Amino acid sequence: MRSVRDIVSPVGLTRPASWPMMVRMGHDDEWQGGSTRPWSEQVAPSPTRNRRRSLAIAVIVVVGVVVGPGEWIRFVVGPPAEHADSASSYEFVALQADGRAPVTYSSCRPIRIEVNPRTMPPGAEGVVEEAVDVMAELTGLELVIEGETSRAPSDITLVWSPVLIAWSDPEETPLLDGRTIGIGGSTSQGRGVGGKVEVFLTGQVALDGPELADVLDEEDDGRSLVRAVVMHELGHVLGLDHVDDPSQLMHHDNLGVVEPGSGDRAGLWRLGQGPCIEGP
């Protein structure tokens, strides 16, 4: 039976009262690769920070789940990338066995997307579509929004099911409690001859609708900031990790960046150059 290989430790991106100010990000130094804790246990809320004055974008490795006889998949919440001389400004959430090539979605299959608008705040109409269009342009992948769904974020997802972008809340998605305002990641599995090529099969994004409503209401550039959150989480779904470069959208702190930087673009381009893996 193939084993699950965990990739990254959880990190969080927080926003203080003024979004463009430098913010600190939290690390769980005790949790390294190999953990299979469920989503609800992976990001601990800060007991001292007022949640309405902070913003967190989580990047975490989630659980490995059995999806078929002898097959394991993993749910990861992920990283960043681009196409240029910006190698130090992007990181990947997962690499192939060679330690160089990133794990990607199949480059010849459309990535189907469904949106659950349950807690989408007024003023956020079209934000998901705009973010998806940017990611499609920068990766060259075909990202197709198929429509709305009532599906909720889950620890377990069916392979080859559409990527879910859900406007959620902490009650439905416990990981959105505390300082976390969004999570995102993808399921990967060994495919191809001998199962030696890892490929993302599907993914999920969960957005804290009530918290993002505050961003829309309280920030001068609220809509752009909310769109940046969606793009950041989609970056994780597609395979990008956090970076140290403060000019990048995938930076682990937020300095008011609302558009992908050169490193983000380079990493996303590379994530669009993965192998063509046909469906089951």
Kindly list the distances between the CA atom of residue 119 and the CA atoms of 84, 143, 159, 206, 207, in Å, as whole numbers in the listed order: 38, 23, 26, 11, 9
**Residue listed under structure tokens 């990641």:** 185
Low-confidence ranges of the chain (pLDDT < 50): 1-85
CA dihedral 230, 126, 122, 154 (to 10 degrees): -50
Nearest by Cα to 57 from 250, 215, 202: 250
**pLDDT score recorded for residue 193:** 62
Q: What's the rounded Cα separation, in Å, for the pair 278 and 260?
A: 30
Render pLDDT for 82-138 as a digit per residue (tens, 0 to 9): 344 455 689 999 999 999 999 999 999 999 999 999 999 999 999 999 999 999 999
**pLDDT score recorded for residue 34:** 26
**pLDDT score recorded for residue 213:** 97
Question: Where are the domains positioned within the chain?
Answer: 11-271
The reported pTM is 0.76
